[in-house]
Structure 1
């Protein structure tokens, strides 16, 4: 079944190492801040200076314009992303309150032969090591009129393809190189405390995980000479056999949770750092923290009515669903609609 998910984040801008509410930049008015260091950055890095931007959305649009034609090879800067590239589709659009479109997440480093299944023609080595196969992933930046310091960003995650880290590091680096290295762009996932309705709506419960401090030498002293790391975490996991449902009785779990705010911090005299339940819906899994009483807010989207597994759905289809989800993220009507209708 074709499916994907949207994950929301808050976006804020602040000076380095200053993250209090009073330090957050007013994202509607950048002109009030001193960014005179920009010119020296531009000279040193041979970068084109971004000037005359009055707000974060204007700065973000400049980012999109550059990466329509430019490609960020993340492996040149970040070893853990050694085979990834990032770019922006030229189809992106903007309005007074939103910017939306597709990001391109590329993967390279694999050589492939291509064969046309109709003609049988085989082109050996057609995809070289430097060729990046690009996956389009949707994004939506929203400006809530009532907030001066926070913007909302929806990012698509499709199966094993996640765009958050490649996008975040590229945006931060671009801001430092092209606008000012005296600010940080911060992105945090939006969380929700409505965990039990999510469990009731799930197709199945697939895992219970209990995490606490511990080390292997607690099991056997010989492990002390095997592992040099002293501080470790240990976990106990329970899964149903054969991928079945754990048949979670949500009412019982909720009653236990409501007994105390610390109900899952100590169980039968044992202290745990985190107790988590993993649920599945529409072939997409989500892990909920019972200890923290929260989970990251996300939207699982069933695309089976418009696309087959592996297909790339029309941008307008994901966009229309994203704007409906945006009202859940913000907690009220946004007055926005898809720019791709």
Structure 2
């Protein structure tokens, strides 16, 4: 049983409100359909990535709060609070519990699609994530100090993992090893540093095309603190992995959430995939509006989504978070 500070205040208020306060405890009861859920815990790690702001972090949410799971029988369950206590099961919270959930989903996808790259697996998980809770509203942030009650992309990434949807994403944002090398070059890593990571020799001046615009399943538009850059373009390529596609082509249309202070457009707005494995490219353009340009040095954070919605067929939805910020002045 966990009681928050607010819960404690309510209990004290009740005790002081009656001459004969009463309470009861019930054990071995499972409460289902708790609302609102899921939500971002107050201890969850948040973005942005300080080493690579152009890549949105975190990627995804996974169950990690009060998780009941198997526990090594020769390891103390709670050495700090209950030294000497051993058990076959334990309830723990944190990344150590969320990570196995996501690793399991990744293994499931790799088994179902052995030809997928690690980047394709990640893309499938991210673009099919849930962004609403059981009540139908946006996923909430348990710590509203992080820019409001609704969780932003810096709090939940793409959203809460949905393993069943991830099995059939329709389209994926794929990456190869050379794309990561290009990113390292764009981040001004030295040749020795890149060799330590890749175990190979890389000449950024000749063999690579340095780019911080990675073909990632999310978008971060980082504007300068003084708004000197008013328009940013982010380029991406989608690959069709739809096993159900027949001979006829499949069409996807772009739908973008409005971001206050920005004009957002996708070029082109429609993509046609002729067969499985077909690739199509597009760019997401964010143009700062006049009222936001005039607010020099004031921090801003805008969150939204880009959805590629299939026309006809299985009506798949390929969704990516979009974040616009002047990150250097915001954090």
Coarse TM-score class (shorter-chain normalised): under 0.3
Q: Select the structure with the greater relative contact order (CA < 8 A; seq sep ≥ 6).
A: 1
Structure with the largest fraction of helix: 1
Structure with the largest fraction of strand: 1
Q: TM-score, normalised by structure 2?
A: 0.23
